[in-house]
Structure 1
Amino acid sequence: MVNLSLIDALKQDLKAEAARLGFASIGFAPAADDPQRAERLTQWLEAGHHGSMQWMEDRADVRQGPQSMWPEAQSVIALGMSYAPEHDPLALEAEPEKARISVYAQGRDYHDTVKKALKALARWLVAEAGKRGLEEPALKVFVDTAPVMEKPLGEAAGLGWQGKHSNLVSRDHGSWLFLGAIYTTLTFKPDEPHEDRCGSCTACQTACPTDAFPQPYVVDARRCISYLTIEHKGPIPEEFRAPMGNRIYGCDDCLAVCPWNKFAETAARHKAFAPREDLVAPDIADLLTLDDAGFRQKFSGSPIKRIGRDRFVRNCLIAAGNSDAPELLPSVTQLCDDPDPVVAEAARWARRRLTTAL
């Protein structure tokens, strides 16, 4: 029989170790599948709200819950790292010649930082369990590259709740948490799930430039600027180009307007996520000149690197077309014959927009 006092003591020490490794939030949840969450996922997929993210559909059976992926799992340790911004994510809206990059992508790639810390915490847990006479646990660590539903698990573990914008909201860290999870065969006492505190607020729904929320708590990725600039590989549909404004990678609007952000302190932000100076307010003109080698060099160590030069420049051309800045015409025109047909089409669209604005 497992000594519960040993498990409880291990849980408390685990929280302290997580904080030492840079996690701002930690909670514990049962690993059992949740039929209600699974049904919501099924409905979302059946509505086509995942767009071209076929990997969501392909692994839907495993996304039903932790034990659907790993039947031996008994507990989930949900963790969050803060990336709370110092500056207003909406500040560049009035500077159309500048490019807007989502706050989360202005620093180092969170996948690397969070996973490194998760692995360190997992090693600590295995070693400590052995020292305390507990059976050595099996563990699996996840960021967001595996079929794991981190946001519902974070809610179940008490880190926060899934807000009307569908992202996790924390009373302490607002909408600015990178999430990770450790599945383990240890049975920890679960924390209480977090209650929904959105109330009657609709700020995130109103703020969305492309009306991507068919209803509260549901996002249609096909209309979401984050999806369109990061996941979507083809031409940006015409109806979304003007609303994109100068957003070239992701969109923070629905997160930035959340009233709970007033409690988020940059002091809790992990040092790896401090923004690079050159990504806070870059000139669109400079970004349009990037070839593949230049793109790779500039975004080494950044999550932006994964979308590749062509998709990135496509996004920059949409921003250029929305800029009303005729000085961008020479750079835009040079890209009208780009080898990538999607880039070339976006360049021709931007040229027409800028020419009309003259």
Structure 2
Amino acid sequence: MTFRARLDAEARAAGFVATGVCRPDAIPDAGVRLRQYLDDGNHGQMSWMGERVAWRGDPSALWPEARSVVMLAHSYSPPHDPLGDLDRPERGAISVYAQGRDYHHVVKKALKRVARWLVAEERCDVKVFVDTAPVMEKPLAQAAGLGWQGKHTNLLGRGFGNWVFLGAIFTTLNLTPDAPEAERCGSCRKCLDVCPTDAFPAPFQLDARRCISYLTIEHRGPVEADLRPGLGNRIYGCDDCLAVCPWNKFAVAASDLRYHGPHRAPPLAELAALDDAGFRARFSGSPIKRIGRDRMVRNVCYAIGNSGAKRLEPAVQALCDDADAAVADAARWAVARL
């Protein structure tokens, strides 16, 4: 086999569903687009997006010695329709990616396997990245031919839909780049129309300040009152725009069964009763752990307020004087709604 065929085979053996190669300088417009996004304030409280803008906008500045970027996609396709959990108002809807093991650990382990193979084969230097460094994975993945950023701004591909995590291997190895993928959304706007909080001001544009994933995960303090009803029972993230994408007819099974873990649709009453220690114990090893007890319980209060389930009122009544001001505010709002 050619070197590239062997690389693809090694990536598949490590659990990746797609592999592509691009140059570090393959996304020259990314920096300009990022700065415009920040200038418009669409990033909300995610101040980290404004840090190291030069690195984010120009991957070649992140590691000047790199000559190629290997982009890889790891599937976490759900075995069920995640929109079905929205019809269970006394349970919390959790984004598919966070229902099991933290993807950072799973994908990084697989990336390191491929990276070690590269080093052994070609004696090159490598660096691996999984969503924790200033790397704009989605534009790089499109430049590497994996897929394109859809109207919902997420990456999707003809061979795997949009249920994928992205990983990057920067290397000093000079690999032949793949042709970039073209956008293939056509006239479809299902992802835009399904959004409960109108977070897309236009196709291919996302205002994070209205996005449920941002509001339930990144946003600190109370959520604006007019947005709370749109949260429904979503307590960590939102999959609506991903779930309705027609390209998911090509979705492949999840690369690792640990993605399908124990955190699908837990009872809201149980979560409302969590203290800090209970929260950390329940979500150990999960990406949910990073938002902390207070933000999770705040989200749970909004979900209970939206549930219409009067029998859940005692669960939020007990939180009306919570030590966290945002939790207390959310609990009082929920009591009033019920």
- What is the aligned-residue RMSD (CA, Å)? 1.2
1:224-257 CA-to-partner distances (Å, cap 9, x unmatched) read 0000000011111111100000000000001111
Contact map agreement 1:73 1:185 (CA 8 A) in 2: yes
Q: Residue 59 of structure 1: which of 44, 52, 65 is its match?
A: 52
- The answer on whether the counterparts of 2:100 and 2:261 sit within 8 Å (CA) in structure 1 is yes
Correspondence for 2:261: 275
Residue identity matched to 1:262: K
Paired residue for 1:50, among 36, 43, 50?
A: 43
TM-score (norm 1): 0.92
- Distance (whole Å) between structure 2 residues aligned to residue 184 and residue 9 of structure 1: 18
Q: Which of 111, 121, 126 matches 1:128?
A: 121
Distance 1:106 1:65 in 2: 33
For normalisation by structure 2, the TM-score amounts to 0.97
Partners in 2 of 1:318 and 1:172 — Cα distance? 37
- 1:91 has 2:84 as partner: yes
User: Given the alignment of the two structures, is residue 23 of structure 1 paired with residue 16 of structure 2, yes or no?
Assistant: yes
Q: Deviations over 1:56-87 (max 9, x none)?
A: 01121111121021111110000010000111
2:327 to 340, 343, 352: 343
Paired AA for residue 326 in structure 2: V
Q: In the aligned structure 2, how far is the partner of 1:256 from the partner of 1:249?
A: 16
* From 32, 38, 51, the counterpart of 1:39: 32
Say whether the 8 Å CA contact 1:295–1:309 is kept in structure 2. Answer: yes
Corresponding residue for 2:124?
A: 137
**Structure 1: which 5+ residue stretches go unaligned?**
1-7, 130-135
Within-5 A mapping of 1:319-358 = 319-354=303-338
Q: Does 1:212 align with 2:199?
A: yes
SS of corresponding position for 1:352: helix
List per-residue Cα deviations over 1:322-350 (Å, max 9, x = no partner): 01111111110111111111111111111
Q: Deviations over 1:298-356 (max 9, x none)?
A: 111110001000000000000000011111111101111111111111111111111xx
**Aligned residue type for 2:315:** S
- Relative to structure 1, the CA distance from residue 198 to residue 170 in structure 2 (aligned partners, 3 Å threshold; closer, same or farther) is same
Q: Is the 8 A contact 1:163 1:217 kept in 2?
A: yes
Structure 2 unaligned runs (5+)? none
- Whether contact under 8 Å (2:26, 2:143) holds in the other structure is no
Q: Which secondary structure state, in structure 2, belongs to the residue aligned with residue 328 of structure 1? A: helix
**Are residue 224 (structure 1) and residue 211 (structure 2) matched?**
yes
Deviation at 1:33, TM superposition (A): 5.0
Aligned position for 1:255: 242
Partner of 1:5 in structure 2?
Answer: none
Instruction: Give runs of aligned pairs for residues 292-311 of structure 1, distance below 5 A.
Output: 292-311=276-295
Do the aligned partners of 2:27 and 2:139 also contact (CA within 8 Å) in 1?
Answer: no
User: Which residue pairs with 1:233 in the alignment?
Assistant: 220
> Would you say 1:112 and 2:105 are equivalent positions?
yes
Q: CA deviation at 1:29?
A: 0.7
Percent identity for Structure 1 against Structure 2: 59
Partner of 2:233: 246
Deviation at 1:10, TM superposition (A): 2.6
Q: For 1:227, what is the secondary structure of its paired residue?
A: helix
Specify the code of the residue in structure 2 equivalent to 1:269.
S
Check conservation: 1:66, 1:183, Cα contact below 8 A. no
Whichever of the two has the greater Rg, that structure is: 1
* Residues matched between the structures, number: 338
